[in-house]
Amino acid sequence: MKAAAFAYARAASVANALELLTAHGEGAKVLSGGQSLLPAMNLRLLSPELIIDIGELDELRGIAVNEGIITIGALTRHADLLKSPEIAAHAPLLTAAVAHVAHPAIRNRGTIGGSLAHADPASELPACMLTLAASMIARGPKGERRIAANEFFAGIYETALAPQELLVAVELPVPPKNSTHFFHEFARRHGDYAIVGLAAQAFVRDEQFADLRLGFFAVGDRPLLAMSARKLVDVAVTPKVLSEASSALDDELAPLEDQQATPAMRRHLARVLLARCVSSLLGRADLGTGASP
Amino acid sequence: MTAVAISLVVNGERVDADVLPRLNLADFLREHLKLTGTHVGCEHGVCGACTVRVNGDIVRSCLMFAVQTHNATVETIEGISDSGEVSDLQSAFRERNALQCGFCTPGMLMAAQDLLKQSPCPDREQIREHLSGNYCRCTGYQAIVDAIETTARARTGRLP
């Protein structure tokens, strides 16, 4: 199908975009790369009265690393993240994740800000933001504020952004040196939305986790930073310990049913991912089969 | 809803037009410029039949509004066919029977040429990954991957 009619405004600056958002608020939608917005409009799931195109605001593009903080402009495209040597060096989890975001032609247009503001619970980057303890920088009529990733995602396609606010950048603390990561997702076809996925960051010392952050996606109405990871930190992980963590994870999940999978299948796959992740990060092949309840 | 003036370059020619904001790039190319080699399949970014190049990068023309191409350079299958840029790929597709109905072929050629520009000697897995966003419902993908692999070999002088 085709998008319904709308009025179009090309923002000349961030200030101009904010003026338009203040004037039109709920009736307006911000267009960055459009790779989630346009499908939704073409399918008539969304019919905004006004589109505010921020695509030409170059000030919102780019990646900078300063004093242990990676700042990524909202308009930075997935293709830019994938090719960025800074991201590969300082947040390789993100490089691994972005390779799974849709297909090359979509990564050439889609932006990190668009993906986060869209907040699809099955998409990769929101979960990575939780895992990497990112802050979202939102600018509105009253100035700028930082929103922690765990407060940003509020439900299916819902975020803590007010209708008058624009997501301008994200900030990630650079993970400590020698920390490791794991990324995997199950999807029907490479690049499709995940059935279940896991973005993990860890610090392993003396064959134990000194830190473990597990960001699951497509396991509920928003990405989940699993608290059950705590059961695996500062202990010798045995099959029994992993099995307990796996049960605790199960209690945290609230998977939805859709045409791709039942909740039971998603629960199973989340436990499979947990076992593979722990096995891979600890270099313990014996733990990789610990998925069964 | 009022029309918006845009000015862009399509296949090397300057185009000025007034378009409604809701018009997507695929429909602009097909209906306004009569460049019907760009195909419209799913209209939500899944099938890849509408793949074109904007400022040198492949994109889904069903997922861009024409108004977003103001000041941009757009290349379609007509442009890269006429320039001879993909003539070897097209021959390889024909020789290997890598098309049947031909609906997906313009998008396949766009995606394949994009891959070969970035990585001249891709392995079959890389070819499959780069084409993962392009559906073919006739031939399956084996012959398409073969044709791209053969072209890559020929271009880098590695033909048997």
Last residue within a domain, chosen from B31, B52, B80: B80
Kindly state the helix (H) or strand (E) to which residue A268 belongs, with its residue range: helix A263-282
User: Are A82 and A40 in the same domain?
Assistant: no
What are the structure tokens assigned to A98, written together? 């972005």
Residue B65: per-residue pLDDT: 98
Which amino acid is present at A277? C
Q: Write the pLDDT tens digit of every residue in A120-135.
A: 999 999 999 999 999 9
Q: Is residue B76 part of a domain?
A: yes
Asked if B106 and B74 sit in the same domain, the reply is no
Q: Are residues A158 and A222 in the same domain?
A: no
Residue A293 lies in a domain: no
ipTM of the complex: 0.95
Last residue of a domain, one of B27, B52, B80: B80
Secondary structure of B57-104 in HEC code, one letter for each residue: EEEEHHHCEHHHHCCCEEECHHHHHHCCCCHHHHHHHHHCCCCCCCCC
Please report, in angstroms and rounded to a whole number, the separation of the first and last CA atoms in chain A.
Answer: 45
pLDDT given at position A186: 97
* In a shared domain, residues B13 and B63: yes
Q: Is A265 left (phi over 0), alpha (psi -120 to 50) or beta?
A: alpha
Domain holding A116: CATH number? 3.30.465.10
Within this chain, do residues B103 and B66 fall inside the same structural domain, yes or no? no
Residue B91 Cα, gap to closest chain A Cα (Å): 24
* Whether residues B63 and B24 fall in one domain: yes
The model carries a pTM of: 0.95
Q: What is the pLDDT of residues B57-116, one digit of tens each?
A: 999 999 999 999 999 999 999 999 999 999 999 999 999 999 999 999 999 999 999 999
Say yes or no for a CB contact (<8 Å) between A6 and B51: no
Number of domains in chain A: 3
Q: What is the pLDDT of residue A288?
A: 82
Contact between chains at B51 and A105 (C-beta distance less than 8 A): yes
Domain that holds residue B21: 4-80
CB A268 within 8 A of CB A259: no
Residue A197 lies in a domain: yes
Q: What pLDDT, on the 0 to 100 scale, is given for residue A192?
A: 86
Under-50 pLDDT residues of chain A: 293
Instruction: Identify the domain boundary among B80, B108, B141.
Output: B80
Judge whether B160 lies within some domain: no
**Does B65 map to a domain?**
yes
pLDDT at position A293: 46
On whether both B75 and B102 belong to a single domain, the answer is no
Q: pLDDT per residue over A213-250, tens digit each?
A: 999 999 999 999 999 999 999 999 999 999 999 999 99
Query: Å from A182 to nearest chain B CA?
Result: 20
Residues B93/B113, Cβ–Cβ less than 8 Å: no
CATH of the domain at B11: 3.10.20.30
Does B159 score more than 80 pLDDT? no
Which residue's entry shows tokens 């904001």?
A: B21
Both A217 and A279 in one domain: the answer is: yes
A144 and A234 assigned to the same domain = no
Give the structural domain span for A16. 7-53
Distance (Å) of CA A80 to CA A60, A76, A85, A154? 13, 6, 10, 27
- DSSP conformational letter for A59: G
Count of domains in chain B?
2
CATH number for position B137: 1.10.150.120
Of B2, B111, B128, the CB nearest to A105: B111
pLDDT tens readout for residues B106-156: 999 999 999 999 999 999 999 999 999 999 999 889 999 999 999 999 999
User: B75 and B15, same structural domain?
Assistant: yes
Strand, coil or helix: B38: coil
For residue A291, tell me if it sits in a domain: no
Residue in A closest to B1 by C-alpha: A7
A-chain CB neighbours of B115 within 8 Å are: 104
Q: For A2, which of B22, B51, B68 is closest by C-beta distance?
A: B22
Q: Is residue B93 part of a domain?
A: yes
Residue B36 shares a structural domain with residue B97? no
Q: Distance from B59 to chain A by nearest Cα, in Å?
A: 4
Is there a domain that residue A268 lies in?
yes
CA B60 to chain centre: 9
